[in-house]
Structure 1
Amino acid sequence: MITEYKLEDAGREMLITVKRSSRKTLGLEVRENGEIFARIPEKLSDRSLKSFIEKERDWIIKKSELVKWEREHRQTTNATPVQELTSEEIENISQKIVDRVRFYQKKMGVTVGRVAIRNQKTRWGSCSAKGNLNFNYQIYYLPDELLDYVVVHELAHRRHMNHSDEFWREVEKYFPMYRQCRKRLKEIRLIN
């Protein structure tokens, strides 16, 4: 069974790591650091895997080029790497984020479970069905209005666990300039 696949493109070699699992679908992912993953069902044949990758060749190449361009041109959070933070800095980061959660939680009239500050690789924040909120520590380094947008976005999921029109109306009700902040946030990448 293949665990890696080498895709040739204009003299360069792109290494695709193959991850097999109990999933039923085939998927591709190009990470911010340029790593490429093919996620496939456990029993998929090597021949079917090769066929899938070759069929998606153009997408893989375009996505890899886009990721490379973004890595070189997009602004970062300029966050201090988490391993370099002191315990006092970590406490300050947590306190600021939790304070903003409490402020908007009260304003929006929603309840939350646990609030955790993490070093997430790809997300600014998330909200579980149980109401637990996770925030990337890097939002601390964003301008305050972007930090607040992320908080309101996750709290709005306490009423709508999707991105429906109702969800966005909820966000807008408490954070009218969300469109501008959402756009700005897409222009900033997380440090890894």
Structure 2
Amino acid sequence: MKEIYDGKWSWKRRAILIHYEDYVIAASMHGMPHGGGALANSFPGHFCIHFKDSTTHRSKSLDLSHQVMVHKAGGLLTPYIKQLEPKQIVELFFVALNQQDLDLLTHIYHDQTGDGVKLLEQVESIRLAKQKNTPTVDGPLVYELPLSFLVKEKNKREVGSFYTFRVKRESPTSEWKLESLPLNLIQ
């Protein structure tokens, strides 16, 4: 299993297909052994496979990054993203950076300057700071969400950052897109 993760255990999600009898089922997995139940097989614990609407065993909530990979495996990524709420689009930005997934980033941001590639090349990980965030604008066409988060650039230490994400759509029936990216993350 380490082969699909460049020889290292990883929490990064992967879109997978489960073959069972005559069925092919879209799913998502990560490559990090965790928890109990280790067998004598050089795999210290278990790893998780998620299906559509699966919840995590710890928080009992849907994991957006797993749901994205399930839909990607099933060939339904674009329609899935088109129906997401603006707050989920912002969350998907964090997923795209942590997964190093340019395809995912281009689904939520029209990158005409290569900014997305720059972020993916330089950001190793990014995570929200533990605090409640309230949108400053929550309308039918524009949504703004100020967030504090921690970002780790490659070969640097993790630092705190702040950015107000602005998500827009052309009409009440069109999909939400990020208006810009927090380029202040990379110096």
TM-score where L is the length of structure 2: 0.23
Structure exhibiting the larger radius of gyration computed from Cα positions:
1
TM-score where L is the length of structure 1: 0.23
* Bigger proportion of residues as strand: 2
* Bigger proportion of residues as helix: 1
Q: Which has the higher contact order (CA 8 A, sep 6+)?
A: 1
